[in-house]
Structure 1
Amino acid sequence: MSTLIRYGYAPFLLFGINGAGIALAATGAPKAWLLALLALAVAVSFAAERVLPYQESWNTSHGDLGRDTAHALVNETLILASVAVIPALAAVIPGAGIWPNTWPFVTQVLIAILVADLGITLAHYASHKIGVLWRFHAVHHSVTRFYGLNGLMKHPLHQTVEMTAGVSPLLLAGMPVPVAAALSLAVAVQLLLQHSNADYRVGPLRYVLALNEGHRFHHLKWAGIGDVNFGLFTLLWDHLLRTHSYDPARRFTSADLGMAAKPDYPTGYLAQLAEPFTRSTRSD
């Protein structure tokens, strides 16, 4: 079972769950399939973390499970709601767009993923450089363990900033609703994989795909050290920005995570929502 998780977990989510989502979206299936596939992905993610954990202690709540669940529910609802409002947005966007509607559906989804990846990566990068953005992004960097739900442990306003940066160019291009639905599922799956406590392997693809092996370096808590590996789906833009970092010998514990300059960062859900409005929070 451990071998199956180590080498099969990532392909199952990347190709199995996403592939099913793309196939269903292409047929115009009801949006309920999105929730069903997402629920399956979450269940598989939690099972994989328990069968083959990177850090056993990260499978135990640090008093953060309820808070992380609240973040996940709110932010995933925002992602799903953004799909629902696309027809209304399309009605007010001038022009017919340049979307390649005649191309194979899977190609359209891959284009959406790459474009969204660029926008989200740049917004993420900016959030480490611009003070007002960091105040909201700091919520995500307050984590002291690395597991599936961390991916959606974000301030909803910062989640909105990132998604706007990623999706706006697609909306202007005329992205269809089914493509947006498949993209929203891919985002949720990617966040699960990227923050997973499962000790899975993808071989040389760890230098191309933005998965947990590389993303742990982004969560190092010391000033400047975590300013690497900003990509959501890929590390292509990090290689171009010269922000890619990876050391196969490095091991992580909770002592490496969080914010060194803010060890007292609020841990409650409502307190974290309010924190960006109460005081400055440095990126270290």
Structure 2
Amino acid sequence: MKYIFARIYAPAFWGGFIGASLWLTGVAGLREGWLLPLFLAALALSFLAEWALPYEVSWNRSVGDRARDIIHGLVNEALNALGLLALPGLVALLSFDGAWPRGWPLWLQLALAIFIADAGLSLMHYASHRVQWLWRLHAVHHSVQRLYGFNGLMKHPLHQLLEASAGLLPLLLLGIPPDVAALLAFAIAIQLLLQHSNVDMQLGYLRWIFAWAPVHRFHHMKYGQAGDVNFALFFNLWDWLLGTGFYTADYEIRQGDLGIGSRPDFPRDYVAQLLDPFGPVSLSKEPAVPEPLRR
């Protein structure tokens, strides 16, 4: 039973919840506010699955970070909600009239939005590892010592705004409708849950397509440039194009492999993390890269 669960969990979670969001909005005709309880259900299922079939048992135990991560999540989701409220005005101000294919089926409009946003978000993520001031903001996300579903929402709010702008600006210019934008925000939240999940999911050939946890864990390694891989949010296509795609079955990411190797003392409380990008920083020597990870 565990083998079957490990195989079907990720595609069933992704397709089930995104499919449910499309049904609620497009078929049942409910307002986008119903996406919030649907996301809470996804969050609850994510936690239950992590306890039922954990990849790393120790990652299910709080290390004094749970309250902080909840604050990060609430702040960043509130920023997303404000962005959705402002969306109609931004579209009216910036868009090219008639550019968005409103006649397409809702699921196809969402697929287009995901594809375009994924390109912008992945490129901003890539830049955040190349541009120093962007990295200082992004480092908050990389300071985690364990990976579980809620980590995907743990970001500095300024970096969250920059990432959202990179993903949303092309869609604003095209005139994305508010309901499609709400579905996109929901799909991103579902993807982040899967990307940082502590479920021992077995992806098979899907690991070459989707940027889910078994692939993304390599991005959170503490070994300097060895973790400079797998930047994509939804689809690994962008990493293959950038030349940054990486996966090996010869090394399992475990407790002690995560974080920022040159900053083992990175601040852990919420306010200190907000202030960290704007203060001086001292770096320590990075740990040696394990042999199977050397490229």
TM range (shorter): over 0.9
Shift of 1:281: 7.3
Alpha-carbon distance in 1 for matches of 2:32, 2:118: 23
Contact 2:148/2:198 (<8 A) preserved = yes
Contact 1:134/1:281 (<8 A) preserved = no
Correspondence for 2:36: 35
Contact 2:55/2:198 (<8 A) preserved = yes
User: Given the superposition, is the C-alpha separation of residues 83 and 100 from structure 1 closer, same or farther in structure 2, using an over 3 Å criterion?
Assistant: same
SS of 1:138's equivalent in the other structure is helix
User: Given the superposition, is the C-alpha separation of residues 41 and 109 from structure 1 closer, same or farther in structure 2, using an over 3 Å criterion?
Assistant: same
Alpha-carbon distance in 2 for matches of 1:266, 1:98: 45
Alpha-carbon distance in 1 for matches of 2:81, 2:12: 22
Correspondence for 2:13: 13
Alpha-carbon distance in 1 for matches of 2:170, 2:282: 30
Using the size of structure 1 for normalisation, the TM-score is 0.96
Contact 1:134/1:282 (<8 A) preserved = no
Contact 1:220/1:256 (<8 A) preserved = yes
Correspondence for 2:84: 83
SS of 1:224's equivalent in the other structure is helix
User: Given the superposition, is the C-alpha separation of residues 210 and 279 from structure 1 closer, same or farther in structure 2, using an over 3 Å criterion?
Assistant: same
Contact 2:129/2:135 (<8 A) preserved = yes
Alpha-carbon distance in 2 for matches of 1:249, 1:22: 39
Correspondence for 1:63: 64
Alpha-carbon distance in 2 for matches of 1:31, 1:281: 45
Shift of 1:29: 1.7
Correspondence for 2:75: 74
| Alignment gaps of 5+ in structure 2 | 287-295
The higher relative CO (CA closer than 8 Å, separation ≥ 6) is in 1
Give 1:1-284 correspondences, 5 Å limit: 2-27=2-27, 28-93=29-94, 95-280=96-281
Contact 2:95/2:175 (<8 A) preserved = no
User: Given the superposition, is the C-alpha separation of residues 93 and 206 from structure 1 closer, same or farther in structure 2, using an over 3 Å criterion?
Assistant: same
Contact 1:97/1:172 (<8 A) preserved = no
SS of 1:139's equivalent in the other structure is helix
Please give the root-mean-square deviation of Cα atoms over the aligned residues, in Å. Answer: 1.6
Provide the identity percentage.
Answer: 49
Shift of 1:218: 0.3
Correspondence for 2:293: none
Aligned residue pairs, count: 284
Using the size of structure 2 for normalisation, the TM-score is 0.92
Shift of 1:78: 1.5
- Choose 85-94 or 106-115, whichever is displaced more: 85-94
Alpha-carbon distance in 2 for matches of 1:13, 1:80: 23
Alpha-carbon distance in 1 for matches of 2:144, 2:278: 19
